[in-house]
Chain A
Amino acid sequence: MQSKTDDIEIRLLLDALFHRYHYDFRGYAMASLKRRLVQAREHFQCESFSQLQDRVLHDPTVLPKMLSYLTVQVSEMFRDPSYFAAIREHVVPHLRTYPSLKVWVAGCSAGEELYSLIILFREEGLEERTIFYGTDINPEAYRKAEAGVYSLDRIALFTKNHQLSGGKSSLSDYYTAAYGAAVFDKSLRARAVFSDHSLVSDAVFAEMHLISCRNVLIYFERALQDRAVGLFKDSLVRRGFLGIGSKESLRFSAHANAFAEFSREARLYQKHGGPGNG
């Protein structure tokens, strides 16, 4: 059956991507990955995944475009405002007790979530003592994040979300509109570091107080989810916070016991403080 052949070819293509470029999608949940690979195959006008494999193996300029198909780039500022409201009301009071802070947005894509947190931290007077890390496996994505430029037609939604999240200022204070785009103020990224980091293969790089990784784990198979959550556990300080997507859960994770549910509704978890967890 064609579907079986497709599956064989996809396995081979993922192997090829790994061996040639060290991008490892082999532990990704297949149903969604396959849909996106079909879109990539159509974009490159290939008849089969084997043809697509041939293209990407021999033409390195194909890779960036492939990555933009393979990684999901959908986010918005202050998406799920209740998540950011919960951070503002319940997490920020804990964070205030630290002299310096580190925040990591894992899988930052084009930076919407990272800017949301930076703005929130500025409004709460915590920005000055915080370093923000935005990481992604797709260099094009975190370069976009670094530029902080968004299409103007998205700004109405961002503004609405910001207000619903309990924003204390006007979002328009933070950007300049020109030529159909909104450029976010570069002072917002003065304390931000953008970098390449893979939850599949890379290790802990700093000790974090808050990690936000929303709607990233759903693209992983369970084994890879466990690896990523383990990485978050090891990265967080004792009693550090982890936020995940509104339909995600640590309930089934191998590391569920390392965390306490901090806000069930907002999907915020707090790492336990006891010995053996630090």
Chain B
Amino acid sequence: MPMLLRSSRARPAFTRSMEALEMAEHKPDSVVPRQRFRAIVIGASAGAVEALGAILPKLPAQFPIPVMVVVHIPAESRFSLVDLFQKRCQVKLLEAADKEPIQAGTVYFAPPDYHLLVEKDFHLSLSSEEQVMFSRPSIDVLFETASDAFGTGLCGVILSGANSDGAKGLQAIVQNGGVAVVQLPESARSSAMPEAALLVCPSALVLQLEQIGTFLAQCQVGEQA
């Protein structure tokens, strides 16, 4: 499979998007027009700590867009991503609770061994349904339900990981008119997850970690333009 994933189809998208971003740094509004979102979802697996550590600290304290994050962690883990990142972040970090209303300025992490889902009236649900692609929480489950709730107002971000969870979810986001961002596979600790995502979402914006952080931090609240 990994051989297949390094498809030539995905290649041109990398260069195109990289150029787009370089231009965007000078003229962000004209070149990357779609930076108004109602919500952002992020998925990461192997290499997640490094990847999120480069992105989350860039978000300002009053970041106007809620962020939901799935990281694959073993079920029995007592390791807390909130504890790990909070002292380096200005934005508020929480472990998601069942039926919690989604609020701006907050990053919600899926708890270990539970799926995190978005309800259409903009609160969060947990679920202990079957694992999806050997994972609970599953990135696909978060992305698909968030896409259903936020439609064109959603930005999905796939970071480093050694499996293909999230690809289907990112595809759903794109199909519903949302925006896909994928970490440049070469820059990821584990490139399989970004590659799998790019295979089904060749139009995704492909960025390095630093750039993803900058891109997200500059996003404003609202429907996609």
Flag if A218 contacts B98 (CB, 8 Å).
Answer: yes
**Which residue of the partner chain, among A35, A74, A221, contacts B144 with CB atoms under 8 Å?**
A35
Q: Which residue of A lies closest to B126 (CB)?
A: A218
Of B5-13, B23-31, B39-47, B117-125, the stretch lying at the interface with chain A is B117-125
- Number of A-B residue pairs, CB cutoff 8 Å, is 63
The answer to the question of A247 belonging to the interface, with a C-beta cut-off of 8 Å to chain B, is yes
CA distance A275 to B117 in the complex (A): 40
Flag if B97 contacts A247 (CB, 8 Å).
Answer: yes
Interface size (A, Cβ < 8 Å)?
A: 25
Query: Chain A residues near B114 (CB, 8 Å)?
Result: 218, 247
The answer to the question of B145 belonging to the interface, with a C-beta cut-off of 8 Å to chain A, is yes
Flag if A31 contacts B128 (CB, 8 Å).
Answer: no
Residues 157-180 of B contacting A (Cβ, < 8 Å)? 176
Query: Chain A residues near B151 (CB, 8 Å)?
Result: 1, 3
The answer to the question of A130 belonging to the interface, with a C-beta cut-off of 8 Å to chain B, is no
Query: Chain B residues near A217 (CB, 8 Å)?
Result: 98
**Which residue of the partner chain, among A34, A36, A218, contacts B148 with CB atoms under 8 Å?**
A34
Report which residue of A1, A217, A247 has the largest number of chain B beta carbons within 10 angstroms of its beta carbon: A247
CB distance from A162 to the nearest CB of B (A): 15
Interface string of B93-123 (1 = CB under 8 A from A): 0000111000000000001011101111000
Query: Chain A residues near B117 (CB, 8 Å)?
Result: 29, 31-32, 35
CB distance from A207 to the nearest CB of B (A): 28
The answer to the question of B155 belonging to the interface, with a C-beta cut-off of 8 Å to chain A, is no
Flag if B176 contacts A218 (CB, 8 Å).
Answer: no
The answer to the question of B19 belonging to the interface, with a C-beta cut-off of 8 Å to chain A, is no
Query: Chain A residues near B216 (CB, 8 Å)?
Result: none
Interface string of A219-239 (1 = CB under 8 A from B): 101100100000000000000
Q: Do A74 and B130 contact each other (CB < 8 Å), given the known contacts A3-B176, A29-B119, A31-B120? A: yes
CA distance A247 to B115 in the complex (A): 11
Q: Do A215 and B128 contact each other (CB < 8 Å), given the known contacts A30-B119, A31-B117, A31-B120? A: yes
The answer to the question of A195 belonging to the interface, with a C-beta cut-off of 8 Å to chain B, is no
**Which residue of the partner chain, among B111, B129, B144, B149, contacts A247 with CB atoms under 8 Å?**
B111
CB distance from A267 to the nearest CB of B (A): 12
The answer to the question of B187 belonging to the interface, with a C-beta cut-off of 8 Å to chain A, is no
Query: Chain B residues near A248 (CB, 8 Å)?
Result: 98, 126
Query: Chain A residues near B111 (CB, 8 Å)?
Result: 247
The answer to the question of B141 belonging to the interface, with a C-beta cut-off of 8 Å to chain A, is yes
The answer to the question of B15 belonging to the interface, with a C-beta cut-off of 8 Å to chain A, is no
The answer to the question of B127 belonging to the interface, with a C-beta cut-off of 8 Å to chain A, is yes
CA distance A139 to B108 in the complex (A): 37
Q: Do A31 and B125 contact each other (CB < 8 Å), given the known contacts A3-B148, A3-B176, A218-B98? A: yes
Interface string of A49-86 (1 = CB under 8 A from B): 00000000000000000000000101000000000000
The answer to the question of A249 belonging to the interface, with a C-beta cut-off of 8 Å to chain B, is yes
CA distance A219 to B117 in the complex (A): 11
Query: Chain A residues near B129 (CB, 8 Å)?
Result: 32, 35-36, 72, 74
Flag if A218 contacts B127 (CB, 8 Å).
Answer: yes
The answer to the question of A245 belonging to the interface, with a C-beta cut-off of 8 Å to chain B, is yes
Q: Which residue of B lies closest to A7 (CB)?
A: B120
Flag if B97 contacts A35 (CB, 8 Å).
Answer: no
CB distance from A235 to the nearest CB of B (A): 22
CB distance from A243 to the nearest CB of B (A): 15
CB distance from A247 to the nearest CB of B (A): 5
Residues 241-270 of A contacting B (Cβ, < 8 Å)? 245-249, 252
Query: Chain A residues near B130 (CB, 8 Å)?
Result: 74
Q: List 25 A-B contacts (CB under 8 A).
A: A1-B151, A3-B176, A29-B99, A29-B117, A29-B125, A30-B120, A31-B119, A31-B125, A32-B117, A32-B125, A32-B145, A34-B148, A35-B117, A35-B129, A35-B144, A74-B129, A218-B126, A218-B127, A218-B128, A245-B128, A246-B113, A247-B98, A247-B126, A249-B97, A252-B99
List chain B positions with a Cβ less than 8 A from chain A.
Answer: 97-99, 111, 113-115, 117-120, 125-130, 141, 144-145, 148-149, 151, 176
